[in-house]
Amino acid sequence: MSEPGKVTLLAGGIGGSRMAEGFAALDSVELTVIGNIADDDEFHGLWVSPDIDTMIYTLSGRIDRNQGWGVADEGCRAINTLAELGAATWMFLGDRDFGLHIYRTERLRKGDRPTEITFDIADRLGCPVRVVLPTDDTVQTRVKTADGWLSFQRYFVENQHSVPVEEVLYEGIENAKPTPEALTAIAEADLIVFAPSNPVASISPILAIPGITDALSQVSAPIIAISPIIGGKVMKGAADAMMRGLGLRADALGVAEYYAGLARTFLIDTADAWLSAGIADLGLRPVVTDILMPDIEGKKRLARQVLECSAPASWGI
Ligand code: GDP
Ligand code: CA
Percentage of the residues of the chain whose pLDDT score is greater than 70: 97
3-state secondary structure of 75: coil
List, for residues 256-299, the tens digit of each pLDDT value: 999 999 999 999 999 999 999 999 999 999 999 999 999 999 99
Tell me how far the alpha carbon of residue 84 lies from the centroid of ligand 1, in angstroms: 34
CATH of 5-161+164-310, one of 3.40.50.10680, 3.40.50.1100, 3.30.499.10, 3.40.470.10: 3.40.50.10680
Q: How does pLDDT run across 131-155, given as a tens digit for each residue?
A: 999 999 999 999 999 999 999 999 9
Which of 9, 10, 17, 18 best tests ligand 1's pocket when mutated (most atoms within 8 Å of CB)? 18
Number of Cβ within a 10 Å radius of residue 44: 18
Proportion of the chain in helix, strand, coil states, percent, rounded to 5: 45, 20, 40
Our answer on whether the CB atom of 291 is closer than 6 Å to any ligand 1 atom is: yes
Question: Which residue type is seen at 122?
Answer: A
The residues whose Cβ lies within 5 A of ligand 2, an ion, are 12-13, 39, 51
Q: Which of 33, 131, 236 to mutate to test the pocket of ligand 1 (most atoms within 8 A of CB)?
A: 236
- For the whole model, what pTM was predicted? 0.97
For 101, other C-beta atoms within 10 Å of its C-beta total: 19
What residue type is assigned to position 242 of the chain? M
Cβ contacts of residue 192 below 8 Å, gap of 6+? 7, 8, 9, 10, 186, 216, 219, 221, 222, 223, 224
CA dihedral 88, 165, 196, 104 (to 10 degrees): -30
DSSP labels for 283-304? T-EEEEE-----SHHHHHHHHH
pLDDT single digits (tens) 31-77? 999 999 999 999 999 999 999 999 999 999 999 999 889 999 999 99
Model pLDDT, residue 1: 42
- In this prediction, residue 91 has a pLDDT band, given cuts at 50, 70 and 90, of very high
**Closest C-alpha to ligand 1, atom 20:** 15
pLDDT of amino acid 316: 46
Tell me the C-alpha distance between 4 and 6, whole Å: 6
Residues 100-114: tens digit of each pLDDT: 999 999 999 999 999
Is residue 2 very low, low, confident or very high in pLDDT (cuts 50, 70, 90)? low
**C-alpha pair distances (Å), 225 with each of 6, 99, 281, 309:** 16, 34, 16, 11
